[in-house]
Structure 1
Amino acid sequence: VQLGIPLAISLLGENCVPSIAFIVSLNVFLLWVSVTVGVELSRSREASVWGTCFEGLWRTIKNPVIIGILLGLLSSWADIGLPEPFEKSLTLLSASATPVALFSVGTGLSRYKLSSHVRLTGASIFLKLFIQPATVFILCFLFEITGIERQAACLLASLPVGVNVYIMAQEFEVIEGPVANALLLTTCLSMLTVPLMTSLFNFL
């Protein structure tokens, strides 16, 4: 969201917004539900599958990204516009959201050492920056997904580890160090790998 949406719009134009919104909303739903179920079931063999699924779904619905997407879809479907003062206020808030969020995450990352969890961090970096974009490209080819949809999907797959993963690691208190390191390093390395992968597979 913080890097992918601005980058995709600047490279692909406003036409990619529906594809990005669909990918982001579906990704958040699947990620929160699957992680919640996986963590809770691994911690307790007596945990209810349906209960943990409901918990993951509830956490997803409360996610600000999902709330924003759902409200945007509702506003578009009902053809409801905001009064001009509210529109300007939201525009100003949206412009400041990304830098403020990145600054907040950066402050939290200062607690971890890059020298720790080298193997797990390295594996995460390789999977995220190389395996995931290649896998998404292959799946798009197999399912005959072309045009702006394929470009948006492959571009988002090439991006670094997202903040949601870091938030989940903190919330469930698992592998916080490796996730924090992977978030920082993939963000730095993506300045090289995103142009490399887009050129190699001709995403754009």
Structure 2
Amino acid sequence: IIIPMALIIAEMGSHQGSNVWKTVKKTALSLIKNPVLVGLLIGICLAVSGIKIPAPLFKAIDMLAEAAGPAALIVIGGALFGLQVKGMASAVGQIVIGKLLIHPLLIFIAFYFVPGIDPLYMAGALLFAAAPMISIYPLFGQRYGLGGVSAAAMLVATIASFFTLSLIIGLMSLFGLMHFE
């Protein structure tokens, strides 16, 4: 749900300046062609329909899936190589603070006000919210002209998450969210 919503917002932002209907049309056309959304849609259709993929095709898809992570890291490394970080600190700082501190805080507040939530679900949601962004983040940033900033933010967030995750796990333990029966 999050990735398609983020793509919709990014596409709409990239088509600013047009009238509303032109923006909606351009956004819809861009999203229909987006391989991430096409892949998600095909996966959902296969899961819902119960259609089984033939073994050779499944093996090929599985091999591509296993190569996606390392390929994404190569792209991220390429984006970071030779990157001029001057003037980027403010944007990177805002992204990292938002992802590692504000996002978990908002998730905690949202879960706190929902009665009867199992502490296991709250702990899982907080840990996912406190984790750094996934490796596809800089790839999306690159598509919208923010590859360098997003790659740098991911690098800083990954390093800083050692400290913020430790803090959040400590706080969760202190307040009894890490004790499961």
Do both proteins adopt the same fold according to a TM-score greater than 0.5, normalized to the shorter chain? yes
TM-score range, shorter chain: 0.7 to 0.9
Q: Which amino acid aligns with 1:171?
A: R
Structure number with greater CO (CA < 8 Å, separation at least 6) is: 1
Cα distance in structure 1, aligned partners of 2:148 and 2:46: 40
Cα distance in structure 1, aligned partners of 2:122 and 2:91: 30
TM-score for both structures, normalised by structure 2 = 0.77
Q: 4+ residue stretches of structure 1 with deviation over 4 A?
A: 147-152, 162-165
Give the drift of 1:111.
3.3
Cα distance in structure 1, aligned partners of 2:115 and 2:28: 30
What do residues 65-88 of structure 1 show as CA deviations (whole Å, max 9, x unaligned)?
Answer: 332322222112111111222222
* Identical positions, percent: 25
Matched, 1:40 2:12: no
TM-score for both structures, normalised by structure 1 = 0.69
Q: Which amino acid aligns with 1:192?
A: F
Residues 37 and 49 of structure 1 are in contact (CA less than 8 Å); yes or no, is this contact kept in structure 2?
Answer: no
User: Counterpart of 1:129?
Assistant: 100
Cα distance in structure 1, aligned partners of 2:85 and 2:116: 38
Give the drift of 1:194.
2.8
Matched, 1:157 2:129: yes
Cα distance in structure 1, aligned partners of 2:126 and 2:24: 29
User: Counterpart of 2:144?
Assistant: 172
Cα distance in structure 2, aligned partners of 1:35 and 1:145: 35
Taking a change above 3 Å as real, the CA distance of residues 166 and 159 of structure 1, as seen in their structure-2 partners, is same
Structure 1 unaligned regions, length at least 5: 1-25
Structure number with bigger Rg: 2
Cα distance in structure 2, aligned partners of 1:186 and 1:56: 29
User: Counterpart of 1:107?
Assistant: 78
Computed over aligned residues only, the root mean square deviation of the Cα atoms, in angstroms, reads 2.8
